[in-house]
Structure 1
Amino acid sequence: MTKLQDLLTTGGQSPWLDNLRRDWIEDGELARWLDRGIRGLTSNPSIFQKAIEGQAVYDDQFSALIAAGTPVGDAYWELVISDIESALALLRPIYDETDGLDGFVSVEVAPNLAHETAGTIAAAQGLHARIDEPNLYVKIPGTAEGVPAIEQVIAGGRSVNVTLLFSVNRYEEVIDAYLSGLEAHDGPLDRISSVASFFVSRVDTEVDKRLDAIGTPEALALKGKVAVANAQLAYELFLDRFSGPRWDALVARGAQVQRPLWASTGTKNPAYPPTLYVDTLIAPDTVNTMPEATLEAFDAGGTVARTADADLAGAHAVIDQLAAIGIDLEAVTVQLEDEGVASFAKAFDELLASLQTKADELTGRP
């Protein structure tokens, strides 16, 4: 048994791969990851930017699309959807074997819709209609404008990966949107699925800078601890909200919990252990989506033990200490949400500009 397989069987956590590349689909690398224990895939605009700009394997399809007169923006979605559909087919057996728990592939709505509720709803519905597979997650950002879109898409019976969550308070709004969407759905709930992608390492990246600026022993002692504590309090909220009479009524209709999905779990600071954001966040009914370097590190030397709620008092203490030295975590998470939206939008725009340049070269336009 690999450590990734043990993570699932002993820890109750599904390991997912945070990457998607066409060459991996075609050369069998993705299938090998599935054999090692990977149970799902996530993608985002930055991932597709790196894949499409960095690999000639997309050139034939793109050239054919441009030759047929397809606008560059539409050609981008054709490239992405081709990869998503191929990955969905590879992971469909996992979806069937787990009765709809795992085997999902995520595709994100255009990032320029992050602050448009109606546009996000239309885009999510359009992607689900175009890629009509049960193991598709459409990613909707957990912005203030995204929250009502999540509720509406869930109410329509479609599955959602809520992305770019940094704040426990916003996560609570997302849980309520999921529950309200389920309550509004007219029919069985057993095939409506959702994960809530709670971002981890970026919190430490920003908070650590502020701690260094303060520079006191009390501040420096908190470095590398806040992101994990923040995520652990999110898991505490998950346990609380997915219990009690409201949840029990939905379970009677076949509802599944909206699992926390730990995202951004590769360590950005080389001084931290490469498995920091995996070892500390293991618990039942969770997912951890990891870049391949983190997966390799965990498979080689990770520790499988229930840790996400092993010391919740300690997690609360870390957040309380952070406030006591003058750092407003809620303000940090607002900044990180804005930066996350901007980063994905930038990657999306840069890729479209790159594809436009390539299209102009193919057609001989100056």
Structure 2
Amino acid sequence: MTDALKRLSEEGVAIWLDDLSRRRITSGALGELLDQQHVVGVTTNPAIFQKAISAGDGYEQQLADLAERRVGVEEAVRMITTADVRDACDVLRPVYEATGGRDGRVSIEVDPRLAHNTAATVAEAKQLAWLVERPNTLIKIPATRAGLPAITEVISRGISVNVTLIFSLQRYREVMDAYMSGLEQARAKGLELSSIHSVASFFVSRVDTEIDKRLDAMGTEEAAALRGRAALANARLAYQAYEEVVASDRWQALAQAGANAQRPLWASTGVKDPAYPDTLYVTELVAPHTVNTMPEATLEATEDHGEITGDTVRGTYGQARADLDALEKLGISYDEVVELLEKEGVEKFETAWTDLLTSTEAELKRLAPREG
């Protein structure tokens, strides 16, 4: 066993767990991760809830009570998921207090079917913040075109946000702009900026999965040499963009007013290709003021054999740009890939949410009181 997780934390990377279930909360397993493995936050998404609730462990009584009351499936799912997030927030509250609100956060996502509807996303974000009613909640809003003004509006209301499903560098810059616009509006309203926090979830492994597939189809040595390079290059250039923004006069004015920087969060860090080290998207994305949200398998792999050698992001920007340029020269369109990944990302979350509704509805029907 190594001290890799401790070293990672010391390098300025906040370790968050990309998973949640009621069993993990009630068994004390979540608390153990905080105490023993340097975990300081939790992220969820529709697929995580679909998996947890479908497994059924710990949800039987609440489902039975909801069925007895004849609660509709949409309301039932929201009551179940917000209960888990609320309880997880309580477990992480000491971390939140100790870090001044920077960590100790638990994320919950707006209904992914609203991803292309700005007004509905804002309304859902307000509702989720009210339902969970914990200061250490982050409301996840997807970085779709319609999501950008929603981010600004929600931030302007003093609600902290986790912006999810970011794949492109251009969209990431637009996300940072949306966050700053929200803070400027909040300041104009007289809100306390220091209480507003945000992270921007930049997805990693899916970029390699899509681009490697295209490289493999080419079947050339030149293409093979670029396998596994796109995702890291993309994320590293995102960090460069972050550095540029926090050095800007616009950001400095907000910082002086008490605003918190929107940290880059590396998401989708589980390695999909067995040819790559299973800690690739952890050890090669070490930089200060970042978050890495890991599936439990990636967390355990990093703890077991991850080699943390210091900052592996700053100083790599030239090579990162060269790698993306080389892909373009081979005919792989960066813009096409990131647009596809955003579209597929929303669709995958919509599918998981629909599956969750379907399985929950079946349970409610099974448990419903019989007539007569």
Band the TM-score falls in, shorter-chain normalisation: over 0.9
Q: Is the 8 A contact 2:109 2:139 kept in 1?
A: yes
Q: Which amino acid aligns with 1:151?
A: T
SS at match of 1:257: coil
Q: Is the 8 A contact 1:66 1:72 kept in 2?
A: no
SS at match of 1:23: helix
Distance in structure 2 (CA, Å) of the matches to 1:283 and 1:356: 44
Hey, what does 2:77 align to over in structure 1?
76
Shift of 1:243: 1.2
TM-score normalised by length of structure 1: 0.98
Q: Is the 8 A contact 2:63 2:363 kept in 1?
A: no
Q: Is the 8 A contact 1:88 1:135 kept in 2?
A: yes
Tell me whether 1:202 sits opposite 2:203 in the alignment: no
Distance in structure 2 (CA, Å) of the matches to 1:301 and 1:258: 30
Residue-by-residue CA offset, 1:36-77 (whole Å, 9 max, x unaligned): 200100000000000000123101101111101211111111
Q: Which amino acid aligns with 1:87?
A: A
Counterpart pick for 2:321 among 316, 319, 331: 316
Distance in structure 2 (CA, Å) of the matches to 1:188 and 1:23: 36
Hey, what does 1:292 align to over in structure 2?
296
Hey, what does 2:16 align to over in structure 1?
16
Hey, what does 1:227 align to over in structure 2?
231
Distance in structure 2 (CA, Å) of the matches to 1:21 and 1:3: 26
Tell me whether 1:25 sits opposite 2:29 in the alignment: no
Where do residues 94-173 of structure 1 align in structure 2 (5 Å cutoff)? 94-173=95-174
Misfit runs of 4+, over 4 Å: none
Distance in structure 1 (CA, Å) of the matches to 2:302 and 2:57: 31
Where structure 2 has 5 or more consecutive residues not aligned to the other structure, the ranges are none
Tell me whether 1:335 sits opposite 2:336 in the alignment: no
Q: Is the 8 A contact 1:72 1:359 kept in 2?
A: yes
Pair 1:67–1:330, CA change in 2 (3 A): same
Shift of 1:365: 7.9
Distance in structure 2 (CA, Å) of the matches to 1:68 and 1:202: 42
Where structure 1 has 5 or more consecutive residues not aligned to the other structure, the ranges are none
Shift of 1:5: 2.3
Distance in structure 2 (CA, Å) of the matches to 1:129 and 1:21: 21
Q: Is the 8 A contact 2:68 2:369 kept in 1?
A: no
Hey, what does 1:59 align to over in structure 2?
60
Q: Which amino acid aligns with 1:321?
A: A
Hey, what does 1:268 align to over in structure 2?
272
SS at match of 1:57: coil
TM-score normalised by length of structure 2: 0.96
Counterpart pick for 2:286 among 282, 288, 292: 282
Hey, what does 2:215 align to over in structure 1?
211
Q: Is the 8 A contact 1:13 1:287 kept in 2?
A: yes
Shift of 1:357: 1.5
Residue-by-residue CA offset, 1:239-288 (whole Å, 9 max, x unaligned): 00111211111011101110000000000001110000001111001000
Distance in structure 1 (CA, Å) of the matches to 2:185 and 2:71: 39
Shift of 1:303: 2.1
